[in-house]
Amino acid sequence: MPTEPVPQDSSSATADPSPPTDPTRRTVLATGAAVGTAAVAGGVLGAGLLPEPAAAAVAAVPTSRLTLTVNGTRHAVTVDNRTSLLDLLREHLGLTGSKKGCDAGACGACTVLVDGRRQNACLTLAVRLEDAEVTTIEGLADGVRLHTLQQAFIDQDASQCGYCTPGQILSGVACIQEGHTGSPEEIREWMSGNICRCGCYPKIVRAVQQAAGKK
């Protein structure tokens, strides 16, 4: 006995027979970018909706009046209490010889002398230096006459890219003043906080020896 044909559902007859495709990588990235943009935009727009007391607290950054001597010149400045000595020198006083390397006290590119002692300017809060005397690389030369160690760096070709050179020289000056130049090994030990990514260490040691009168 013949069977009757099973009636077809009109909706399934017109459906796409191919299975749904998974989202592509491009689709996922595009969607993520759109969501991220929306979140950033929402944050920016939302910042203007802060209550007035909260907005005032954000705007009220504590500052201090500071007086110090840099390279023989007296300066009186008002700074954010969080300002580092390095940022004070570079951003407020325009003394860009001191370099910002790691900004964490690990490379020595920002080394300056504070009251005659070497110090990492990136780790030193400016507000702690009331009445201090700071010497940077700009303050070593006597007019057009270079400091002895600056000239020694030239004589020994002790720099390559030059980025670490200001900190190396200031640290070397302190090393000589402290009397830590008895041997190349002693110089390396007391200059170990200053990193040269170009590898000019042997020439730097020779320059310090020359300036100290050891070579």
pTM: 0.73
For the chain, strand residue ranges (E) read: 63-70, 73-80, 111-114, 117-120, 133-135
pLDDT profile of the chain (215 residues), mean per 10: 54 49 60 54 51 63 95 97 98 97 96 97 97 98 96 97 97 97 97 96 98 84
Q: What tokens does 109 get?
A: 């590119």
CA 81: distance to chain centroid? 18
Residues paired with residue 68 on neighbouring β-strands, in sequence order: 75
| pLDDT for position 45 | 46
Residues paired with residue 84 on neighbouring β-strands, in sequence order: 125
- Other CB atoms within 10 Å distance of the CB of residue 105: 16
| pLDDT for position 39 | 47
CA distance 87 to 99: 10
| pLDDT for position 12 | 46
CA 182: distance to chain centroid? 33
| pLDDT for position 60 | 78
| pLDDT for position 61 | 85
